Structure formats: structure tokens, C-alpha cells
A and B are shown apart, each in its own frame.
Chain A
């Protein structure tokens, strides 16, 4: 287990290094925006990785409600947390890209606003899990996650449904969309690297969550044993 984790971590590190080279050096400089467009290679893969995390959270939450399996609950909390980390990256790198290109840090257009709402939904979900002490926490959190997920397709479709300051999709955006093949290659390398990195974080966080669940079980068993001891005395 430890050696497979180490191999995976090393492969991820190599991927991240090569993806950095692809984004900063190998990809051609964009004609109108110049060097600042290279933020694209961190901004877009981070957004897609966050989406994948929230999709996994959605599936795990449904699985938990159907099967009441604590492993599904552990996957749900883990993917939500890692998804929030990647959405935070999106919300920080976006304005850093916007300021030199649009002349403003932020605007309340549909894409930016729905992304901020997405971040707030999953931060609320994590805070609810952190501070709720009732026995129904996992069930209520799963229900909250299922409703919260509605914002994911809204974020994705926002630049197709509404006129936004945010650019129209360059990938799967229909006629007239698309990017240079070398840019596409750099984007895919960065996407692979970030998905692998998210997988690594999920792996570590999942094991911690399972340990926490086992600690809770041990506390519950101890409490039960002491109650039974009191009753038989």
C-alpha cells in the first residue's frame, strides 16, 4: 500500500513538472493577450478538476442515501473538500487573469457569480459537517450535496446560456471555437496532472476520514460499554 502510494506520488510530481513546462514554455504565446494567457493552463484544468470532484461527491452522496455505507460518506466529504480547494484556485487565478485583460478584477456576470455560489455551497456543506453533532449529519449532508450539485451544470452552461464578460467556451463551444493544437496539448497535460494530483489528495484525505470514522466507532463502543456497566451494577 505504502509503495503504491509512493509510486503514484512520484508519477504525479513528474506529471506536474512536465505540465508546468508545457504551460510556461512549450505552449505558444497567445496573439492578443500575450504571456498572461498562460494562466489558462492552471485556471481551466483546476475548474474541470473541481467539477470532477463535485460529480464524485454527488454520486457518493446518492450511494450513501441508498446503501448507508460509511465508505460512501467518507468519499463524499473527501471529494467536497478537494473540490473546494480547486475552486479556490479558480476564484484566485481568474481575477489575476481578468485584471490585465478586462481592466477589472471582478464582475457579477453569470459565470463568475455562479462559480462563487458553487464555492459557497460546498464551503457551507463542509461547515455543516464540521459543526453538526447529530446522528443524522451524514444523511442531511448527503441531501444537501445532492441539491448543491444543481449549481455545477449551471456553472458549466452559464457562458452558453447568458451573455457574459467571461469568454465563450473555446472547447466544445460549437462553430468558431477551438484552440491551437499545441495549446490543446499543454491544456491536456495540465488537466492530467491536476486530476492525478486531486486523486492523490483524495487518497490521503479518504484514509484520514476512515480513521476518524473508526475513532467515532471506538468512542461509541466505549460509551455503550460504560453505560452497560452502570446498568448491571
Chain B
């Protein structure tokens, strides 16, 4: 059972890490667009 929960948890940790990576990328691009528009 431990490995079953670990597998489900690992799946969601991987996806959450990727979502955090996307949100950081979005913030960086937004800042760059603002800088260029100035």
C-alpha cells in the first residue's frame, strides 16, 4: 500500500513542480514584455 500512495503522490508532485515552473516562466515573460513596452 505504501508504494501505491507514493506513486500517486509522486505523480502529483511532478505535475505541481511543472505548474510552478510554468507560473515562474509566465511571471518572467510578463516582466520582460513590460520592460520592452517602456
Interface, chain A (partner B; CB < 8 A): 20, 24, 35-36, 38-39, 42-43, 46, 85, 88-89, 92-93, 96-97, 99-100, 197, 201, 204-205, 208, 211-212, 214-215, 218-219, 222
Contacts and interface: CB of A to CB of B under 8 A. Distances in A.
Contacts of A100: 3
B1 A35 contact: yes
Contact of B14 (A24, A85, A97): A85
Contacts of A211: 29, 33
Given A208-B22, A212-B29, A99 B3 contact: yes
Contact of A36 (B3, B10, B22, B32): B3
Contacts, number: 63
A217 to B, nearest CB: 10
A82 B14 CA distance: 11
Binding site secondary structure of chain B: helix
Contacts of A97: 3, 7
B9 to A, nearest CB: 10
A218 B29 CA distance: 13
Interface in B9-38: 10-11, 14-15, 18-19, 22, 25-26, 29, 32-33, 36
Contacts of A219: 36
B4 A89 contact: no
A103 to B, nearest CB: 13
Contacts of A88: 14
Task: Give 9 closest A-B pairs by Cβ, nearest first.
Answer: A96-B7, A93-B7, A39-B7, A96-B3, A92-B10, A211-B29, A85-B18, A89-B11, A42-B11
Interface residues of B, number: 19
B18 A89 contact: no
Contacts of B33: 211, 214-215
Nearest to B25: A208
Contacts of B15: 85, 89, 197
A215 B32 contact: yes
Given A85-B18, A222-B36, 19 more contacts: A20-B8, A36-B3, A36-B4, A39-B4, A39-B8, A43-B7, A85-B14, A85-B15, A93-B7, A96-B4, A96-B6, A96-B7, A197-B15, A201-B19, A204-B22, A208-B22, A208-B25, A214-B33, A218-B36
A46 B8 CA distance: 12
A219 B33 CA distance: 10
Nearest to A198: B15
B22 A92 contact: no
Contacts of B25: 208
